[in-house]
Structures are given as C-alpha cells and as structure tokens.
Amino acid sequence: MAKPPLPDILQTEHEALHEEIWKATKLGGETGRAAKSVVRVLLPHVVLEEEFGLPPLTLLPRLARGEISEDMAPMIATAERLKQELPRMLDDHKHIVAALRNLLVAASSENQPGHAQFAQKLILHAQMEEEVLYPASVIVGEYLKWKLGRI
C-alpha cells in the first residue's frame, strides 16, 4: 500500500529536520551521542506521523473551499487511528523532547550553536504538532464523518 500523502510544506519540513539530525549524528563527542539518542526515539515516531498523524491535513485546503466528496472518506479512518493513538503519540513526544533537551545541553557545552538551535526548533515543532497539527487532523476526520453522513 502506498504511503499516504503529506501536505507539501510538512513533507519539506520533515526532510529538512531529518537532514539536520543526521548531520548531528556524524559529530563526535556528547553532541553526536545525544543526536543518536534523538534519532532512536524520533524516527519510529515520524513513521507513525506520516502514516496516520498528518495525512488528513492534505484535505484542509479543499475543505476550506467547501469541497466535500466521497474520495475524502478514507481519511476518516486515518484520523480515527490518530485519535486512538494520540496518547501514545504524546508520550513519544515526552521522550523526544527529553532527548532533544539532552542534545541542546550537549551542543551548547561543546560550542555547537547550530545544533543547539536545531534542538530548540524541533522542541517547538513537537509543541506545534501537539497543539495544532494533531488536533486539526482529528477535526478533519470528525468533520468528514459529519459532512459525509458517517455519524
């Protein structure tokens, strides 16, 4: 089965974040070790986000224009999965943010300001997912259920 699409801007952002964290893993010292710890907790989480956490957001522009069609119906199940998995996703974020804080400390102490800023940026990204993106994905599913008569 093909991987569900992501909004282009989120796909681009995820690719840039992956590139940055992989660069950090190539460093020696505590910064490199801390970056590897981030990767261990981050990558499995990103797979889930791209599978069911963010794809419903691809429909937002169409929904905002008032477009509703049966081809949108599969995103109901995708959004429902996020709704069910949300506690796990938020728990993942706790582990990711803890690892990122370790990266921030290590990068700061080893005079790696770019990697410290990256850690701060990714912490904010996790917060944006929790406060905006995940809720929006769930709401897309609820809205589709209502508009397509699936309630």
pLDDT tens digit at each of 151 positions of the chain: 566 688 888 889 889 988 999 999 999 899 999 999 999 999 999 999 999 999 999 999 999 999 999 999 999 999 999 999 999 999 999 999 999 999 999 999 999 999 999 999 999 999 999 999 999 999 999 999 999 988 7
Q: Token digits for 99?
A: 């690892």
Write phi, then psi, for 28 (nearest 5 degrees). Answer: -85, -170
How is 31-48 classified by DSSP, letter by letter? HHHHHHHHHHHHHHHHHH
| Pairwise CA distance, residues 18 & 48, whole Å | 15
Q: Residue 14: which of 139, 129, 136 has the closest Cα?
A: 129
